[in-house]
Structure 1
Amino acid sequence: MTDRQSSPPPTASTLLDGVRVVDLSRVVAGNIATHALADLGADVIKVENPETGDSLRNWTLDGIETWWKVYGRGKRSLALDLRAPEAATVLRLLFERSDILVENFRPGTLEKMGWAPERIWEANPRMVILRISGWGQEGPYAHKPGFGSLVEAYSGFAAMNGFADRPPVLPPFAMADSYAGVFGAMAVLAALRTAEKTGRGDVIDMSLLEPLFDVLGPLTLEASLSGRTIPRQGSSSPTHVPRNVYRTGDGKFVALSAGTEAMVRRLFDAMGRPELMADPRFATHGARMENRDALDAEIGAFMARHDRDACLALFDQAGVTVGPVMDALDLLSDGFMRARGVLADQPDPDLGTFPSPAPPVRTKNAPRRGLRPAPKLGEHTEEIMTELGLTPEAGSGTAR
């Protein structure tokens, strides 16, 4: 591991203290949803296959379960063979004592297991059920596998990402899953609030497609009005100019976005080029849109004459919206990340501590408590079974 300065350990809010979540999901979307709920203080019971565990454990670096260590924190692991006849008893007891269920089986699988929502509500009428799938529980694509990459391509995102003279580009992380997880956590909390008032739970049908499509905003509106799609523009913006990434004299990069007339004027003044505001090519928003390449060349030439730190100092003093392009190694030693507490040192039984994103939700009045590290497979099986009044062997393969 690279050298870095230490940061405080992460702490969880207690906003959801007393809320219990049963997590039957695998890989990213469901884990992000329950990760968010655990960060807010919920008791998340992660139900895992006793032999393989959650598939997210397989995403490793040098044999270390890096993804699991981040998204599994704050959770408890119950090793349970869902195919064992005895598992039905364990699940029923969990459902009776819980508030939220998260699953991302292919649509219809939960019903085949004997746990249609109506049966779950027989055990607990207030249960909120988050069902995550690629294309939704209903509709012509409900039967299809739900991989995020397919959704990122289908949603319109890939077609607008990248450069016009190159193929569409998929995101380098699980974007669709991540949005579905965050939207899913938001939805179950809204449904939980209603359940607490009415005593009646609900089903959240959360596809991977719809949250991502939603955040793309006016994509289809603009296509319907113009009869065309926006071409891929790299780091440029279809809404304003200048907005791009520029190489500085020391080979590093800065990002610039000037979306208002006042900011454009401030930028030109800071560059020592106030006359550019009178240049017909750059004098108005429309003119800049038509001449984006020429304006990028002017700005790029300026950036190339200064190193990154000099650019940042100059534009910061002038109040211009320019910032550094940071990579992971930059972030490890960045003063802001430590001062703000964005980066936290997560305690870990294997690594001692490791740098991890701190919970992003900050509250003023709610107490906070430490976050337990991501559990080993089945680490809390005995503890949870005891809470349910069962032995660890109540479900075949649960004893670890």
Structure 2
Amino acid sequence: MTPAPGVVPARRGATTGEREERGGEPLTGDPLTGDPLGPLQGVRIVDVGTLFAGPLSATLLADLGAEVIKVEHPRKGDTARTFGAQKEGVGVYWKSLARNKRCITLDLSQPAGQVLFLALAEHVDVVIENFRPGTLERWNVGWEELKRVNPGLVLLRTSAFGPGGPYSGFPGYGTLAEAMSGFAHATGSADGPPTLPQMPVADGIAGVFGAMGILAALYHRDARGGTGQWIDNTIYEPIMRLMELMLCEYDQLGIVRQRQGNHIPDSSPRGAYESRELGRWVALSGSSNETALRIFTAIERQDLVDDPELATNQGRLAHADRINAAVARWIGLHTVEEVLERFRAVDAPVAPVYDSAGIFADPHFRSRETLVEVADDDLGTVTVPNVIPRFSATPGGIRFTGPARGEHNLEVFGGLLGLEAAELEALRADAVI
């Protein structure tokens, strides 16, 4: 399939022949163009996680050039394949979450699968898993076995509650972390229930922290002459780390934050305000004295600018209801475009509240290619979030979208581990791969 102009061509990793030519060494450049793949080129990762947190850590590093081998159960596959909406039987989320990963199948509950997994671990820098604590040990491929075959290995272990403590063995997902971290309690309207996000926020934050942990462990190993190590990463602790403002308040002042909708007890004005156009909103925050005064100027309220009681944040908080009413009244008389034009004219921060259609249409996002269209074998093209952050010399990239289950079995088991066709067929017959 020839991609349309402006579409990044899909690339399903190196062919078996290409793998044999480089003797199983990690990819350092695109096999077709020779372009550098990012600052992590040469790093090889095995992703044996499922769903979100662990796999996202791998995806973020794959975007930056790491070579990622995704391991799935031969029959079940990763649940993320069918999570969310589907188009013609194809999970659309999978195409982004599993991008830049070469997919193999392997049953780790079988002894033959365990032998293959340990053989694979000898050839990689990092293993990522997010099973319940003790699962890898039950399969005889835990940390002790892994470091025995590869002392320099970094193992990221992401779980709901961690390997120690009374909750260690409990099942858990991001929803539980969002509830227990204080996030849900602090989110929502004052007269409404605790509010959970629609997107996997806790899993996403845990994925970012997991990727950060891997990079730190690799630096320790490679730049400081250290050894491999395993990383304990939970789903609840990363999101709780970002709730520190309310935790510090409770620790020192005994304050328990309550839900206040879009308003917060830290700055005023702050919130989402509906424009004259029904259903179209803008958001703003006057988090500094200068910003608040510019907002007052934007809504043509010189009386608020001149009011000495509103010159400080504490003063504005004392009059938050009056301020928010004034802001809401002015914005409610104007279109979103009029609000944006007026606020930007006086250098006051404001933003439209977007749904997905708004995100796709935004000219700034288009200019920066915040979303990028990528060729896909199943769907023709898919538009996904681009690589972030951006590097000036080693930018990384999206080399291909989420592959089919077991698409790279021959390439990895044959090219990297050197298994013959007859051996692979026997493993397939025994449902090991």
Task: Measure, in 2, the Cα distance between the counterparts of 1:237 and 1:12.
Answer: 45
Matches within 5 A, 1:210-229: 210-229=237-256
Which segment is superposed worse, 190-199 or 362-371? Answer: 362-371
Number of paired residues? Answer: 395
Gap change, CA 1:265 and 1:194, over 3 Å in 2: same
SS in 1 for 2:250: helix
Matched, 1:30 2:29: no
Using the TM superposition, give the Cα deviation of residue 367 of structure 1 relative to its aligned residue in structure 2, in angstroms. 5.7
Question: Do 2:371 and 2:386's aligned partners in 1 also have CA atoms closer than 8 Å?
Answer: yes
406, 418, 421: which one aligns with 1:389:
418
Rate the CA distance shift 1:305–1:373 in 2: closer, same or farther, 3 A.
same
Q: How far apart are residue 152 of structure 1 and its match?
A: 0.8
Give, in whole Å, the separation in 1 of the partners of 2:36 and 2:341: 35
**Partner Cα separation in structure 1 for residue 395 and residue 256 of structure 2:** 49
Query: In the aligned structure 2, how far is the partner of 1:318 from the partner of 1:367?
Result: 35
> CA, structure 1 residues 181+64, in 2 after alignment: closer, same or farther (shift >3 Å)?
same
CA–CA separation in structure 1 for the residues paired with 2:119 and 2:425? 15
Pair 1:318-2:346 in alignment:
yes
Distance change (3 Å), C-alpha of 1:187 and 1:164: same
Alignment of 1:12-51 (within 5 A): 13-51=37-75
Instruction: Quote the residue 2:134 is aligned against.
Output: 108
Match of 2:97? 71
User: Which position in structure 2 is the counterpart of 1:254?
Assistant: 282
Give unmatched runs, 5+ long, in structure 2. 10-34
Q: How does 1:48-197 map to 2 (within 5 A)?
A: 48-62=72-86, 63-196=89-222, 197=224
Question: Which residue does the alignment assign to 2:17?
Answer: none
**Displacement of 1:233:** 1.0
Partner of 1:239: 266
Change (3 A) 1:286 1:204: same
2:317 partner amino acid: M
User: Structure 1: how far apart are the matches of 2:285 and 2:5?
Assistant: 32
- Residues 177 and 208, structure 1, Cα contact 8 Å, conserved in 2: yes
Aligned partners of 1:7 and 1:338 also within 8 Å: no
Partner Cα separation in structure 2 for residue 300 and residue 241 of structure 1: 13
Root mean square deviation of aligned Cα:
1.9
Question: Are the counterparts in 1 of residues 46 and 68 from structure 2 also a CA contact under 8 Å?
Answer: yes
Q: Find the counterpart in structure 2 of residue 355 from structure 1.
A: 383
- Equivalent position amino acid for 1:282 in 2: L
> Do 2:113 and 2:432's aligned partners in 1 also have CA atoms closer than 8 Å?
no
Q: Deviations over 1:325-370 (max 9, x none)?
A: 1110111222111101101002111111111100112111126455
Q: Mean alpha-carbon deviation: is it higher for 358-367 or for 342-351?
A: 358-367
Distance change (3 Å), C-alpha of 1:378 and 1:97: same
Question: Partner of 2:188: helix, strand, or coil?
Answer: coil
**Does residue 204 of structure 1 match 2:237?**
no
Structure 1 residue 237 displacement after superposition: 2.0
Letter in 2 for 1:397: A
CA contact (8 A) 1:135 1:146 kept: yes
DSSP 3-state at the match of 2:403: coil
SS of 2:337's partner is helix
Deviation at 1:20, TM superposition (A): 0.7
CA contact (8 A) 1:381 1:398 kept: no
Pair 147,340 (structure 1): closer, same or farther in 2 beyond 3 Å = same
Cα distance in 1 for partners of 2:63, 2:256 equals 39
State the alpha-carbon separation in 2 of the partners of residues 31 and 287 from structure 1. Answer: 47
Return the offset for 1:7: 5.9
Deviation at 1:55, TM superposition (A): 0.8
The whole-number CA distance in structure 2 between the counterparts of 1:274 and 1:299 is 13
Contact conserved, 1:12 with 1:39, CA < 8 A, in 2?
no
Deviations 1:95-133 (A, max 9, x none): 100000001111111111112212211100000000010
SS across alignment from 2:121: helix
Q: Percent identity?
A: 37
Residues 54-81 of structure 1: per-residue CA shift (max 9 Å, x gap): 0101214243312211110000001112
In structure 1, distance between residues paired with 2:361 and 2:432: 42
Paired position in structure 1 for 2:19: none
For residues 395 and 204 of structure 2, the distance between their equivalents in structure 1, rounded to whole angstroms, comes to 27
**1:306 maps to which residue?**
334
Please tell me whether the aligned partners of residues 53 and 203 of structure 2 are also in contact (alpha carbons under 8 angstroms): yes
Q: TM-score of the superposition, structure 2-length normalised? A: 0.87
Give the distance between the partners of 2:342 and 2:81, measured in 1 at CA. Answer: 45
Q: Is the 8 A contact 1:248 1:254 kept in 2?
A: yes
